[in-house]
Structure 1
């Protein structure tokens, strides 16, 4: 949908792009501006990289290489966007990788030096992007605005991982993005909900608001599931992976659809279990006395939804509960959870809380939905 902007956040390596993108997204979410952050880099660092511990980030970070297939997939995702995008790009794009920039509409440039900004300015102009801001990034100091229009220019400080930069430049840039990205929420919902494949739509934002929930907690699961019909449903909005998995398992065997800002409404792939698991993922089953912990890691940093519609997962002991983890797209994680739904119980791990799995389905009186099961 080309009515939605796609704002590229670009600059040399180690200039603080990922930290800035995360903070801007936080502010936009608080202002209820619908958007999606697309990590257009094989490193694939999501929100977990800012929220998880430093040790966990080092374990989860998956350094990958740009490839023609990756570039093509990202360009396709940008072109068919269903929401406004913030696009976090790599720091050293080749001419081929600049196709990703050309697929965007606007640019925010970030660099530690004037030379770095000049290089990226030339690149953004060559790719036909409208530059919103040019920011010099410093670790220590204070924000300074030297020019507001037509391009926001100045110094931005404190873009360190696990910090919350909140200076005047961050706020001014977030305000400018809000005016660019904001669409009437009811109009946006109506447009998207008209395309939903099912009559029943679970709107996570409205559900949280009506329940007085500011941040989803595992303890919310029993009441949420009790209020949700066990019927075919479509799920819309931001929420932890265990919430999506619990709703999908609650609806099973009725179909469930997820809204993906890159793909639109998608159904989790049907994942079979077999003796020859798919080689598109590396499977790490760990058997404990109480459960099997299955960690799945994609071989490539970017999984194409159209290419993983016939995934085969390992056969696990049906008498044990299952804990699922791995840096997976939400639609694939939900598909995996559905695969093992006949086990005594199923739990999923969120990267930010990697020492435990959250129970999302249970037929065992010793495990209740919402319980945290330690895997340490």
Structure 2
């Protein structure tokens, strides 16, 4: 399993290509869920700043569609350069969901991946993408070319040397129901990605920060008697925290941002490191007051809490000093929301924890905010603050 010469990573990178509105993101979401169910270790990287994430496909439509509009960003030269770096230096096997109208440097993604999947609706579109691959002298090997038709009956036309056929039903809502073509593609990806979760976790555990206990979130779920993969729910937080002895930890594995933030708060003041697919192992960044942060931080009162919402101009946040706008101290709780990496939420919670009675993080899947830290247990950690009318 060799990477392209343009990549410095030993891990495969599979580029999902195609024009807008052909179902790439729907297919990518289904594939990543199925791969994780099989314990195939990888990461789904969405390079388009369209405001979509797993929450967009898993939450209630009336809640997540407005949020997607709030989180839409724009392509910038800095974003494109950063995405290229992340893919080139990938710390995990990657499934890369590419934008439907790549221009200029965006097309360089074709040069830093090892394999490709092409969706198209017309032969003209298929020819256009092949032309771009040729112009970029792309080394990637196509493993599938599939014509996307919402209402078509799925069929496989050929399987050698690549999978060809018609794939149907790639709608966002209601949830996608896969057919034989999607299943055949899944089998190819599972073989190609080739790393099981245990092997990859052991690989990264060897590089964990010295002096920190390596903690895989799957192991934490198993300690609570849960099967893995496990989809965490807020009411499990108290038991998860009770299982941890306050000391330095290096946290690894998939989980909601509120789980990581609550663990970080519980372990304070001990150091916490997180494994981030963009950077590898990183400590929680320093938080500093900033009256004019580079992001739009909206503050408003909501009941007994101050709500802080983050809107980004681009969907990538650089690790480093983390800005905070507004008062740190107060007698009201704080609700945090926005599309930020989990290390940012964890750092904010640690920063606010000594000075606020409680802190919660909004999760659109539950139509509410999950309490991640509470000074006197009112509201309790793991409880949900309904925000259906948000």
TM range, smaller chain? over 0.9
Task: State which of 292, 301, 314 in structure 2 corresponds to 1:300.
Answer: 314
Alpha carbons of 1:253 and 1:5: their partners in 2 closer, same or farther (altered >3 Å)?
same
Does residue 194 of the first structure (1) align with residue 203 of the second (2)? no
Partner of 2:28: 21
Deviation sequence 1:346-368 (CA, Å, 0-9, x none): 11112323x31111111134211
Task: State which of 248, 255, 269 in structure 2 corresponds to 1:239.
Answer: 255
Partner of 2:13: 6
- Give TM-score, length-normalised by structure 1: 0.94
- Give TM-score, length-normalised by structure 2: 0.90
Conserved 8 A contact 2:40-2:194: yes
User: What SS does the corresponding residue of 1:243 show, helix, strand or coil?
Assistant: helix
Q: Take 1:57 and 1:358, find their aligned partners in 2: how far apart are those partners? A: 17
Partner of 2:277: 261
Deviation sequence 1:12-42 (CA, Å, 0-9, x none): 0000000000000011000001100111112
Q: Take 2:311 and 2:341, find their aligned partners in 1: how far apart are those partners? A: 11
Deviation sequence 1:202-252 (CA, Å, 0-9, x none): 211122234233421111111111111111111111111111111100111
Moved runs in structure 1, 4+ residues, more than 4 A? none
Q: Take 1:265 and 1:316, find their aligned partners in 2: how far apart are those partners? A: 28
Conserved 8 A contact 1:64-1:300: yes
Question: Offset of 1:310 from its aligned partner?
Answer: 4.4
Partner of 2:161: 150
User: What SS does the corresponding residue of 1:349 show, helix, strand or coil?
Assistant: strand
Question: Offset of 1:317 from its aligned partner?
Answer: 4.9
Structure 2 segments unaligned to the other structure (5+ residues): 1-7
- 168-177 vs 194-203, which moves further: 194-203
Does residue 287 of the first structure (1) align with residue 294 of the second (2)? no
Alpha carbons of 1:300 and 1:186: their partners in 2 closer, same or farther (altered >3 Å)?
closer
1:215-254 → structure 2 map (5 Å cutoff) = 215-254=231-270
Conserved 8 A contact 2:114-2:140: yes
Conserved 8 A contact 1:71-1:99: no
1:356-367 → structure 2 map (5 Å cutoff) = 356-367=368-379
RMSD of equivalent CA atoms: 1.7
Conserved 8 A contact 2:44-2:96: yes
- 55-64 vs 246-255, which moves further: 55-64
Partner of 1:159: 170
Task: Work out the number of aligned pairs and report it.
Answer: 371
Partner of 1:39: 46
Does residue 92 of the first structure (1) align with residue 101 of the second (2)? yes
User: What SS does the corresponding residue of 2:104 show, helix, strand or coil?
Assistant: coil
Structure 1 segments unaligned to the other structure (5+ residues): none
